[in-house]
């Protein structure tokens, strides 16, 4: 003879609930949650996963599932259980994560969360308790309420024209590639209850084996919400729900998931290796006496068309300063400029820590197109230096207090076979004028742009071309 006993996965008394009767649940008489809790508890016992189980209970009548389940419990926000479950499962892949959700929670407010977790194929189990109504908040319309059903928010009954048809979740999720199991069951008789239990067991087994996402939808009675007595509520399911929500398995195609990372295993030495890789002491030392004495701090603006490599040019200048042991900041104009239009960036190079990184009044301007020259020339500090691409800008700066240095950057780049390196020509011109960084620091800078041998060689030639052009252009001014 079979002996019936309370599963170990359910507590025998419910002190978390409090109140006068610590052995009674908070559920109404005839509610389906009690049966489902028992089935789930038995399955957890039978599969021996009680210690590994983490139960997520979001808002709804089952928000208090933690009163009853002897498992790690996490109470969650309305509809968000699949996202919370994702976080738990990704953090602890060895846990057995069960998201226990009602129909308002899962199908309405949490619609996208369940859809996306299913589509990702999260290795978890969703128990979807569909009673066609919001129970806890007082019998309001749910996405699953049958047409014509009177609720506290559809006093005349649900109309298709107003609210559409009841949402069939098991059918909706089944076609998603990430879903391994999607089935619907009911608690209307012993046979169906046994089928429900088998489905729950299969779903959790799939999770144990790393076989992906399962949803078990269970049509569950809500006598209070439906305003019928417990016995009638069983007939109500048969009469009003079965034709809208046919029972059956809509998908059973377990897919083996790859072995996930175990992030809780923490290896600080590995992190140090990855994060500090390539960090070396910076070189120091002057390349040569500057062609033109530059006073620090340098407030540089580089500007041109999107696609000319303006931001990179600025960054290389900042890195050159860093290699020289100076304090630097680099600030891009960010956003749509990255994808066309004009681009500019601010670089500060200073022998004291950089305070203000915003270059309102540059003392060095690198202009790679005419609009940039026109925009930034008026902002220049008196006595500032303008280096401009004379192959694209026919008229230089008009202010007489500025020193203009014309570099045919695009022309030099074209002669090297690619206009793309015009920014490196300008970089070379700047380095010549600034007299840093030292020879030994130049190649590492170029390598940080590209390690591709062909590209690197082009950049070396472009840098050299820029330096020679700057020497030539600056010569008469000495």
Partner 1 sequence: MSQVDSPTHRGPFRKVFHPYHPMSQPTSSRSEPRSRSHAPQFMKGNEAVVHGALLAGCRCFFGYPITPASEIAHTAAELFPEVGGVFLQAESEIAAIQMVYGASSAGVRCMTASSSPGISLKQEGISYAAGSELPMVIVDITRGGPGLGNIAPEQSDYFQMVKGGGHGNYRLPVLAPASAQEMCDFTVDAFTLADRYRTPVVVLADGLIGQMKEPVSLPDAVREIPDKPWSVRGDGATRENLICSIFLDPPVLEDHVRHLHDKEMEIEAKETRWELEGHPDPELVLVSYGVVSRIVRGALDEALAKGMRVAALRPQTLWPFPTAALAHATRDAKAVLCVELSTGQMVEDVRLGVGGAIPVHFLGRCGGVLPTVTEIGEEMESVLAQAEVLS
Interface residues for partner 1 in 25-84 (CB under 8 A)?
A: 50-54, 56, 63, 66, 70-77, 80, 83-84
Q: Which is nearer to partner 1, 190 or 275 (CB)?
A: 275
- Regarding 475 and contact with partner 1 (CB under 8 A), the answer is no
As given in the structure block, the two tokens for residue 165 are 């048809």
- 134 SS3 class: strand
- Rounded CA-CA distance 161/478 in Å is 85
Residues 292-331 that bind partner 1 (CB under 8 A): 315, 318-319, 322, 327-331
Q: How far is the CB of 346 from partner 1 (least distance, A)?
A: 9
Name which of 70 and 151 has its Cβ closer to partner 1.
70
Write the binding mask 141 to 180 for partner 1: x where contact by CB under 8 A, - elsewhere: ----------------------------------------
Return the residues of window 257-286 that contact partner 1 according to CB under 8 A.
261-272, 274-276, 279-282
- Residues 223-262 binding partner 1 (CB under 8 A) are 261-262
The answer to whether residues 132 and 144 touch, using CB atoms and an 8 Å cutoff, is yes
The span from the CA of 341 to the CA of 325, in Å, is 34
- If the CB atoms of residues 59 and 291 are measured against partner 1, the closer one turns out to be 59
As measured in angstroms, the least distance from the Cβ of 237 to partner 1 is: 29
How many alpha carbons lie under 13 Å from residue 115 in its C-beta half-sphere?
Answer: 8
Burial of 155 (0-12, 13-18, 19+ CB in 10 A): exposed
Q: Which has the closest alpha carbon to 186: 252, 104, 131, 114? A: 131
Tokens 């908040």 belong to: 137
Q: Which is nearer to partner 1, 38 or 52 (CB)?
A: 52
Q: Residue 95 interacts with partner 1 (CB under 8 A)?
A: yes
Nearer to partner 1, 50 or 104 (CB): 50
The answer to whether residue 194 forms part of the interface with partner 1 (CB under 8 A) is: no
Which residue lies nearer to partner 1 by CB, 379 or 419?
A: 379
**Cβ–Cβ < 8 Å for 134, 225:** yes
- Residue 350 beta carbon to partner 1: minimum distance, rounded to whole angstroms: 11
Q: How far is the CB of 87 from partner 1 (least distance, A)?
A: 2
Q: Residue 38: phi, psi to the nearest 5?
A: -65, -45
CA distances from 398 to 132, 367, 378 (A): 77, 14, 10
Q: Which residues of 17-35 are buried (b: 16+ CB within 10 A; e: fewer)?
A: beeeeeeeebbbebbbbbb
Nearer CB in complex with partner 1: 75/438: 75
Residue 144 CA to chain centroid, in angstroms? 31
Complex with partner 1: residue 60 or 397, whichever CB lies closer: 60
Tell me how far, at minimum, the Cβ of 185 lies from partner 1, in Å: 26
Q: Tokens standing for 139?
A: 């019998």
Q: Least distance to partner 1 from the beta carbon of 437, Å?
A: 13
For residue 102, how many C-alpha atoms fall within 13 Å in the half-sphere facing its CB?
A: 31
Q: How far is the CB of 313 from partner 1 (least distance, A)?
A: 13
Q: Smaller CB distance to partner 1: residue 207 or 233?
A: 207
Binds partner 1 (CB under 8 A): choice among 18, 175, 340, 383:
18
* Residue 223 C-beta: closest distance to partner 1, Å: 23
User: In angstroms, what is the minimal distance from the CB of 464 to partner 1?
Assistant: 24
Q: Count Cβ neighbours within 10 Å for each residue of 395-426 and write b for 16 or more, e otherwise.
A: ebbeeeebebbbbbbbbbbeebeebbbbbbbb
Min dist CB 406 to partner 1, Å, is 29
Total residues at interface with partner 1 (CB under 8 A): 74
> In the structure encoding, which two tokens stand for residue 85, read together?
């479950």
Does an H or E element contain 86, and which? helix 81-91
Question: Which residue lies nearer to partner 1 by CB, 112 or 398?
Answer: 112
Nearer to partner 1, 74 or 219 (CB): 74
CB of 45 to partner 1, least distance (A): 13
Would you say 95 or 391 has its CB closer to partner 1?
95
Binding segment for partner 1 (CB under 8 A), chosen from 89-97, 152-160, 163-171, 415-423, is 89-97
Residue partners of 184: CB distance under 8 A and separation at least 6:
170, 217, 218, 219, 245, 246, 247, 248, 250
Q: Which of 61, 88, 173, 203 binds partner 1 (CB under 8 A)?
A: 88
Q: How far is the CB of 50 from partner 1 (least distance, A)?
A: 7
Using the CB atoms, write b or e for 99-118: b if 16+ within 10 Å.
bbbbbbbbbbbbbebbbebb
What's the chain's length in residues?
478
Structure tokens at 32: 């389906």
Site for partner 1 in 331-390 (CB under 8 A): 331-332, 334-335, 354-358, 360
Residues 105-144 vs partner 1: string with x where CB under 8 A?
A: -------xx-xx----------------------------
């Amino acid at each position: 003879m079979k002996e019936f006993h309370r599963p170990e996965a359910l507590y025998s008394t419910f002190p978390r609930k409090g109140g006068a009767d610590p052995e009674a649940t908070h559920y109404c008489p005839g509610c389906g949650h009690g049966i489902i809790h028992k089935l789930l508890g038995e399955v957890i016992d039978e599969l021996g996963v009680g210690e590994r189980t983490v139960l997520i209970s979001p808002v709804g009548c089952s928000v208090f599932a933690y009163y009853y389940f002897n498992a790690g419990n996490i109470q969650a926000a309305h509809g968000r259980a699949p996202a919370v479950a994702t976080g738990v499962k990704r953090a602890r892949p060895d846990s057995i994560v069960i998201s226990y959700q009602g129909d308002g929670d899962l199908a309405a407010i949490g619609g996208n969360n369940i859809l996306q977790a299913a589509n990702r194929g999260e290795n978890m189990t969703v128990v979807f308790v569909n009673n066609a109504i919001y129970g806890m908040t007082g019998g309001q319309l749910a996405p699953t309420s049958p047409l014509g059903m009177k609720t506290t928010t559809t006093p005349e009954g649900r109309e298709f024209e107003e609210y559409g048809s009841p949402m069939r979740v098991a059918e909706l999720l089944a076609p998603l590639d990430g879903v391994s199991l999607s089935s619907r069951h009911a608690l209307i008789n012993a046979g169906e209850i046994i089928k429900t239990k088998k489905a729950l067991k299969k779903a959790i087994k799939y999770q144990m084996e790393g076989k992906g996402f399962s949803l078990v939808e269970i049509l569950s009675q809500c006598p209070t919400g439906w305003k019928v007595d417990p016995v009638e509520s069983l007939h109500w399911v048969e009469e009003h729900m079965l034709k809208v929500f046919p029972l059956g398995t809509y998908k059973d195609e377990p897919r083996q998931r790859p072995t996930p990372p175990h992030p809780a295993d923490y290896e600080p030495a590995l992190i140090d290796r990855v994060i500090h890789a390539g960090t070396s002491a910076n070189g120091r030392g002057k390349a040569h006496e500057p062609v033109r004495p530059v006073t620090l701090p340098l407030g540089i603006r580089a500007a041109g068309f999107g696609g000319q490599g303006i931001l990179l040019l600025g960054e290389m200048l900042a890195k050159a300063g860093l290699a020289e042991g100076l304090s630097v900041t680099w600030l891009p104009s960010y956003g749509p400029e990255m994808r066309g239009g004009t681009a500019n960036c601010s670089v500060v190079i200073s022998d004291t820590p950089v305070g203000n990184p915003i270059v309102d009044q540059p003392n060095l301007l690198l202009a790679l197109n005419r609009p940039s020259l026109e925009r930034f020339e008026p902002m220049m500090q008196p006595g500032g230096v303008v280096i401009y691409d004379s192959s694209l800008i026919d008229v230089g700066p008009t202010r007489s207090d500025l020193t203009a240095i014309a570099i045919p950057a695009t022309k030099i780049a074209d002669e090297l076979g690619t206009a793309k390196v015009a920014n490196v020509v300008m970089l070379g011109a700047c380095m010549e004028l600034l007299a840093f960084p030292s020879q030994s620091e130049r190649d590492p800078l170029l390598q940080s742009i590209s390690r591709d041998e062909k590209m690197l060689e082009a950049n070396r030639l472009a840098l050299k071309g820029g330096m020679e052009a700057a020497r030539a252009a600056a010569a008469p001014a000495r």
